[in-house]
Structure formats: C-alpha cells, structure tokens
Amino acid sequence: MDKILELTQKGNSLLKDSKFEDALAFFEQALLLNQNNPDLWNNKGVALRSLGRYEEAMECFNKSLEIEPRDKFAS
C-alpha cells in the first residue's frame, strides 16, 4: 500500500474516533512525503479545526485551495 494512503487512512480513522492530536500527527507525516496534495492539507486543517486551532486550520485550508483552487472538499 502507498505510504501516503496508509498514513491518510490512519489519520482519518483517528479523526472519526475524535483523536485529533493523533490524527494530526499522521497527516503531518503524510505531508512530509508530499506537500503538493490538497487533500492532505485539507485533512490537516480539519484536525487543527477540531482542536480549536482555527488560525492554523485556515492556513491549511488556504494552502489546499492554493494548490487546487477548485477543490470542492476544502472545508
């Protein structure tokens, strides 16, 4: 399995379980492998927003939209 996909799936699973700090760590690991993936930035933003870190979350959402302006999944 692709390492980024594996990290993303683990992160998403942790998000669903409300383990936001742990999810964030997985999304950050995935971003180390590919910083040009808008979905990874969006996922990181969701985790940060869930932690109440709104300014950082907005930066991630903006980065996602910068990479893919028509990203319909950007939160």
* Helix residue ranges, H only, 1-75: 3-16, 20-33, 38-50, 54-67
For the chain, list the domains and their CATH numbers.
Answer: 3-67 (1.25.40.10)
Q: What is the mean pLDDT of the chain?
A: 93
Tokens encoding 51: 């932690």
Report percent pLDDT > 70 for the chain: 92
pLDDT digits (tens, 9 = 90+) for 27-51: 999 999 999 999 999 999 999 999 9
pTM of the model: 0.89
The CA–CA distances, whole Å, from 36 to 4, 30, 33, 54 equal 12, 11, 9, 22
72 pLDDT more than 70: no
